[in-house]
Structure 1
Amino acid sequence: MTINKLTFCLAVLLATNQSFTRAQTAPASNYDQHKAFDPLFYTQNGNEFRSAGGAPGPKYWQNRSDYAINVTLDTAQHRLSGSVQITYTNNSPDTLSFVWLQLDQNVYREDSRGEAASQYSGGRFVNRSFTQGDEISSVSIVQNGKTQAASYRVNDTRMKIQLPAALKGNGGTVQFRINYAFTIPQYGTDRMGRLQTRNGWIYEIAQWYPRMCVYDDVLGWNTLPYLGAGEFYLDYGNIEYSVTAPADMVVAGSGELMNAAQVLTPEQSSRLAKARTSDQTVTIKDSTAVISPTDKRKGNLTWRFSCKNTRDVAWAASRAFIWDAARINLPGGKKALAQSVYPAEVASTKAWGRSTEYVKGCIELYSNKWFSFSYPVATNVAGIVGGMEYPGIVFCSAKATGAGLWGVTDHEFGHNWFPMIVGSNERKYAWMDEGFNTFINGINTKAFNNGEYYRPADISKTGPGMFGANAEALTTIPDVIQNSQLGNVAYFKPGLGLKLLREQVLGPERFDEAFRTYVHRWAFKHPTPWDFFRTMDNVSGEDLSWFWRGWFLNTWKLDQSVKEVKYKENDPAKGALVTIENLEQLVMPVEVAIQTADGKADTVKLPVEIWQRGGTWTFLYPSTTTLSQVTIDPQGALPDVNRANNSWKVKN
């Protein structure tokens, strides 16, 4: 190094130190551009399973689980009993010597891990009564043409089955046959249960058969226990199932009813056929038929359903059900059926009398915007469950009315896209289903019936609460999220994050293209958060790591301010020098509204890259006269934690 170069470097270093010293005397700032724009975000390269661009790789694989289930509903004892045959296909390159299954009913046992980990003060996911959980009477394995009793062990909500012969990868198959029963809890932690109405019980049945745990290329076996808050992660496959119930009950379930002629009356069959071609709601079974049934069949009937390429199925049954339906119009001329089942007590048009209209409306909107609805029927069930989603069927509170019923219906059916179609791991990443769904709910509500129930949120007031002292990162496991933070972390903040990304960062056109690409790439597959981040980056053409890091991986706050206004050479006619600041660690693009003394108004938009140089930025505004007011984020579009410093005004 020459003397001149050394002298120059020392001078630069000295100037840097002097600048640092001056900055220390300025108003306190928590901002560090090196953290916000740290280039080391993606710490792993793409591979043959998951590409660097966010798409499934050329050797992406996932295992498959097909089910044949036959159960009987005992309404006297509130019990379900039957059998399930699981055909499991190992598409992984690995040889498996054992498998894991989920026994979710065991969460309702008094000695369950979920019960032990629940707060004594109660809550949505706390048991209010107890059952014996899944009562397994036999487990057998069919492998290599031989049937034999299985060696298995149950640990809380998981069951491990040791295979008599290792299951080969790349397409090896094995069958499991399990006989089981369980008592249906009245309150099934707001995911299933039964409601007493004046015309009989309503049964909402979910997590009702042993299901395979997912074996994937990320973690191998995913065996997090079911504790209540964390939802589900499941394989895809075809599910055929039958429900035997008293003849006076209506059974509604995921998928398509395969034996309508055997279980419906001729009049019901005729009305159902009419509904399949009607955009207006058609009543299949009315209150008169509930109170004074003309169908005198006795004993039991068996309802048979089929649901293809699905990760789960659920169903409901009641003699109290009013049943109505209408046609759903899908892209490409395809059709499906929207239907609702509910008790007579809530049948008014201010309540469940409009349910099928809501089902039809929300599914048509989602299908045209993102990806076509993938099930033949969409059923809304009124019951004890406040709001819970399953493929092609949702459970919503029988007490919901008006805007509340629209909101819960739209939300629960939004889950048919996240996570039913895009099969993320809900047990670990609540924001990838609840948050994404909250985001698309907002777009739907604005569009439905010319915004009948749309009320724009005041984002400007959400900052202090969202970024409070107890804030948790969005990547927190659901069972770790504190009760007071669940709504913020799983629903609101990730939903708002996508809204800001769409409206403030990328714009609707670029965002929608990238988001739609993500849905189509990962439909009926298992994406990770990184697959989502990479897809959005690559399709939009932006390095959004600053946004993912700040909004999703950390609890950084946003505080933009207007520091001061000066004039070039002290002459307003030569332009105004406007200095703005970023005082907290989260960064966003900037919009500044400017008013001049002669009454003119203007807006300046600045990209997020201005904050790469530090937390203070000065720009030249081509004024010809003095400014009277400068306001950052004039529309209140950002959740700024301190809006008191967002404006500069001329002092009178």
Structure 2
Amino acid sequence: MRRLLIAGLMLFGFTTVAQQYQNQGKFEQLDYILRSPNVYRTASGAPGHMYWQQRADYKIDVTLDEVKNQIKGSETITYTNNSPDDLTYLWVQLDQNMRAKNSQSYTSDESTVPDRATEGTIDAMMGYPDYDGGHKIQKLVDSQGKAMNYTINYTMMRIDLEKPLKAGESISFSIDWYYNINDRARMGGRGGYDYFDEDGNTVYTITQWFPRMAVYNDFEGWQNKQFLGSGEFALPFGDYEVNITVPADHIVASTGELQNADEILTAAQKERWEKSKTSELPVLIVNKKEAEKAEKSKASGTKTWKYKAENVRDFAFGSSRKFIWDAMGVDIEGRTVMAMSYYPKEAWGLWDKYSTRVVAHTLKVYSRMSIPYPYPVAISVEAANGMEYPMICFNYGRPAPDGTYSARTKYGMIGVIIHEVGHNFFPMIVNSDERQWTWMDEGLNSFLQFIAEQEWEPNYPSRRGPAGNIVSYMKGDKTNIRPIMTNSENVIQFGNNAYGKPATALNILRETVMGRDLFDKAFKTYSERWAFKHPTPTDFFRTMEDASAVDLDWFWRGWFYSTDHVDIAIENVQWYKLDSKNPDVENKLKKEKRDSEAYHVTPDKNREEGVVTVVEKHPELKDFYNNWDEYDVTDSDKKAYKTFRASLSAKEKELIDGGYNFYEIKFENKGGLVMPIILKMSYTDGSSETVHVPAEIWRKHENEVSKVFITKKEVAQFQIDPKRETADVDEENNYWPPRSIPNRFELYQRRESTPRGQSPADNEMSRANRK
């Protein structure tokens, strides 16, 4: 009975909170939704005076087996407990287990039988039965070599400790393991291998490759949610020493700084490397001719590349004999950061021209908007996908075989490089929990990506950021949409929800709601406060308000906690002018109005039929009223007007004589998401002006408001959101007088697909060359 009572109380409490949230006005504060401030996280959104976070340092030896397509490694983890808690067990992430035979990713994914299926489609439905994926743990021992007890729960491994790890203590343990690398072209994935049939070589992108410590924090304890594929990685910071053994003729791109360049690089490569540090243009460290030679020769034996990385939350690398490598130094507030790119010859023509320059541009823009880039290198690797790790990222963009490329390929490549390099800042430095809140890294990063794109070239065709680009999603079927504040594995329409909508929201916040000065200061404050720490959405929301003095709870509530959309309509316009009391003016207007309203069709029809009225037949029936008009101006009217004018102040006379027009406009909030009202008034003389009404106008009446606009000029047309700033989903109801906007449709043409990241052979450039 007691259990039933408790369950009933819990259900009642949840229902009450849910109803309270639904019944809350759009301008009510979010205090009861946000986490309570404490000694770890303050009410201002800053880390508290007792903030702490854990640390994990790694020493790893790893070997890449090109024959077996296998990774084999041995690592030692030193884990430091900076929390005030005693820990009786540790959690380690085994992310490769999402590809294990018993993977929940395969069993929990929905699937349907299509009308037409390829071998690959069926292969995916079956969970790739011929592929043996997942981490294979060979040994787990403590610092004394003693076996430790562990339990693997899909993508998480619990290590049970013989005695509690107390606050301030550290523990070291070692793991030996291996896994079979996935064919990314066949199976997808953030990492894997890309095999080139033409020359029999492979490009490896090695990611989520080693057992990694999970995060233990002050607000949820262990972050041990399973990795199902969408929600990415929450990781603690630490130092890495990694020895990477690969075929002798491979070039390795990696997180960290190369420690044994003298052993690995040729004299010519070292000379080029030194030159690149001060060059204003990328310098080829390994040129195209050298890479093509390596493709054909395939040297025997192995080499070990040694890397160190300080204060990073993860580690990744790429390896191939196909790599061309270029680099240039970038000045970031007096420090030289090396921007570098690695790519196969198949990407030549795009990557040699753009990649490293885009890396350098991204570092400068993001450093200005957040914090100065703190690491020594930033690397872009061509790998026909897009994924990010500290100091290194993997991107796509290959020309067609004839060297031409489409505009979509070019701008897609530039955009993805900006995006993935930008992830160095969010979440590799400002270290949010991607497993829980994807938008905190993808959304914030997509927003800064938009800024960097617009500073790359005028009118850059940005995919995400402009308000108009999110309209089709926002006005879609609400059963297929989730709030931004949704766990990553439960998100529907991942790209729109976690990337596009938050990027648009922040752009609107910057350009339309707060203004650039206030927004940029607040955003930079958030970045500085939480660099190399673990922020939550509450910390972000509070900091943005704390550093700007702008109450934004209505904005977070609408954009992040709801699925409402923006649709503000002009419901009605009433036009008024001040009564001048001048009978010569006012009586004439009144007479015209009366005659207009009194008109009806019968007298006209009578005249057409020749009907003669009685009074027309007998004029003697006319009297005073047949010639009298109530609006005729009399001497007494003129006298009264003269007396009235004498009583007016100078200001009152100016108001009356100024010819002011008073327009009372009724606005309707049809979409539910309150926003500022941006109103353009186009005048009859051809001029125009735009006024901004803050969103707070809706605070008392959320569905319908009225506002009076006073102008000396006569308005020919009113238009809401003329520059498409607010993501208003219905532009037809933005006009008064109403205006119809034609929609367009096009014929569907079936086109052959090309591999991801590669330009189609038939593109704008190739067609121009054929003329």
Aligned counterpart for 1:300 among listed residues 277, 299, 302: 302
**Whole-angstrom CA distance in 2 between matches of 1:379 and 1:123:** 36
Contact map agreement 1:628 1:650 (CA 8 A) in 2: no
Q: For residues 77 and 343 of structure 1, what CA distance do their matches in structure 2 show? A: 22
Matched, 1:54 2:142: no
User: Counterparts of 1:518 and 1:394 in 2: how far apart (Å)?
Assistant: 24
Residue number in structure 2 paired with 1:365: 365
Secondary structure in 2 matching 1:641: coil
2:683 counterpart residue number:
596
1:383-532 map, 5 Å: 383-384=383-384, 386-397=385-396, 399=398, 401-449=409-457, 459-460=467-468, 462-469=470-477, 470-482=480-492, 485-532=493-540
Select between 121-130 and 573-582 the one with higher mean Cα deviation.
Answer: 121-130
Give the Cα–Cα distance (whole angstroms) in 1 for the partners of residues 578 and 123 of structure 2.
63
Query: Partner amino acid for 1:173?
Result: S
Within 5 Å, give how 1:496-575 maps onto structure 2.
496-568=504-576, 573=660, 575=662
How far 1:626 moved relative to its partner?
4.1
Change (3 A) 1:432 1:163: same
Q: Which moved more, 1:496-505 or 1:442-451?
A: 442-451
* Distance of 1:228 and 1:366 partners within structure 2: 28
Compute the displacement of 1:226 (Å).
0.9
Q: Give deviations 1:402-444, integer Å, cap 9, x for gaps.
A: 2121111011111111100110000011111111111001100
**Residues in 2 aligned to 1:438 and 1:158: alpha-carbon distance in whole angstroms:** 29
**Residues of 2 paired with 1:61 and 1:155: CA distance?**
28
- After superposition, give the CA deviation of every residue in 1:169-209 in whole Å (9 maximum; x if it has no partner): 1x110011001111111126420011113441111001111
Is the contact made by 1:435 and 1:494 (CA closer than 8 Å) also made in structure 2?
A: yes
User: Deviations for 1:551-610, whole angstroms, at most 9, x for unmatched residues?
Assistant: 001111221111222234675745222222223321111111113334442222211111
Deviation digits for residues 336-382 of structure 1 (CA, Å, limit 9, x no counterpart): 1111111112211x345421122122222222332112221111111
1:452-481 per-residue CA deviation (whole Å, 9 max, x = no partner) reads 666897634643432311221111122112
2:732 matches 1:644: yes
In structure 2, give the amino acid aligned to 1:274: K
**Structure 1, residues 593-643: CA drift from partner, whole Å, max 9, x if none?**
113334442222211111012133222222345432111212221211222
Partner residue in 2 for 1:376: 376
The change in CA–CA distance for 1:360 and 1:461 in structure 2 (over 3 A counts) is: closer
Amino acid at match of 1:236: F
Paired letter, 1:49 = Y
In structure 2, relative to structure 1, the CA distance for the partners of 1:369 and 1:569 (3 Å cut) is closer
Counterpart of 1:602 in structure 2: which amino acid?
E
**Cα displacement (A) at 1:93:** 0.3
CA separation of 1:637/1:448 partners in 2, compared to 1, >3 Å: closer, same or farther?
same
Query: Is this contact kept in 2: 1:33–1:611, CA < 8 A?
Result: no
**2:327 maps to which residue?**
325
Judged with a 3 Å threshold, the aligned counterparts in structure 2 of structure 1 residues 494 and 42 are, in CA distance, closer, same or farther, namely same
Alignment check: 8 A CA contact 1:70 1:82 kept: yes
Q: 1:577 — aligned with what?
A: 664
CA distance 1:408–1:625, shift in 2 (3 Å): closer
Structure 1 pair 623–468 and aligned structure 2 pair: CA distance change class (3 A): same
Query: Which residue type is aligned with residue 509 of structure 1?
Result: D
Matches within 5 A, 1:110-509: 110-120=101-111, 130-142=131-143, 146-169=144-167, 171-187=168-184, 189-197=188-196, 198-199=198-199, 200-293=201-294, 298-331=300-333, 333-348=334-349, 350-384=350-384, 386-397=385-396, 399=398, 401-449=409-457, 459-460=467-468, 462-469=470-477, 470-482=480-492, 485-509=493-517
Please give the alpha-carbon distance, in whole angstroms, between the structure 1 residues aligned to 2:189 and 2:544: 34
Q: CA contact under 8 A between 1:125 and 1:229: conserved in structure 2?
A: no
* 1:152 match: secondary structure: strand
Question: What is the root-mean-square deviation of aligned Cα atoms in Å?
Answer: 2.4
Contact 1:346 1:353 in 2 (8 A): no
Q: SS at 2:25's partner residue?
A: helix
Instruction: Specify the alignment match of 1:16 in structure 2.
Output: none
Q: CA–CA distance in 2 between the matches of 1:205 and 1:586?
A: 43
CA distance in 1, matches of 2:298, 2:211: 35
Output the CA distance in 1 between the equivalents of 2:415 and 2:535.
27
- CA shift at 1:513, angstroms? 0.3
Matched, 1:620 2:705: no
Q: With structure 1 as the length reference, what TM-score do the two structures score?
A: 0.89
Q: Distance in 1 between matches of 2:557 and 2:430?
A: 23
Pair 389,650 (structure 1): closer, same or farther in 2 beyond 3 Å? closer
Counterparts in 2 of 1:82 and 1:344: CA distance versus 1, 3 Å: same
Name stretches of at least 5 consecutive residues in structure 1 with no aligned partner.
Answer: 1-31
Aligned-residue offset at 1:274: 1.1
Match of 1:71 in 2: 62
- Higher strand fraction (1 or 2): 1
**Which deviates the most, 366-375 or 389-398?**
366-375
Are 1:558 and 1:641, in contact at CA under 8 Å, matched by a contact in 2? Answer: yes
Structure 2: how far apart are the matches of 1:304 and 1:123? Answer: 42
Distance change (3 Å), C-alpha of 1:415 and 1:561: same
Give the drift of 1:163: 0.3
Give the percent of matched residue pairs that are identical in Structure 1 and Structure 2.
39
Unaligned 5+ residue runs, structure 2? 1-21, 113-120, 400-408, 580-658, 740-771
Aligned to 2:406: none
* Aligned residues of 2:93 and 2:212 also touching (Cα < 8 A): yes
CA pair 569-354 structure 1, distance change in 2 beyond 3 A:
closer
What amino acid is aligned across from residue 680 of structure 2 in structure 1? A
Distance 1:549 1:81 in 2: 48
Amino acid of the structure 1 residue aligned with 2:271: S
How far does residue 78 in structure 1 lie from its aligned partner after superposition?
Answer: 1.0
Q: Is the 8 A contact 1:102 1:213 kept in 2?
A: yes
Tell me the distance in 1 between the aligned counterparts of 2:232 and 2:464: 29
Letter in 1 for 2:387: M
Kindly indicate whether the alpha-carbon contact (under 8 Å) linking 1:351 and 1:402 is maintained by their aligned counterparts in 2: no
Larger Rg: 2
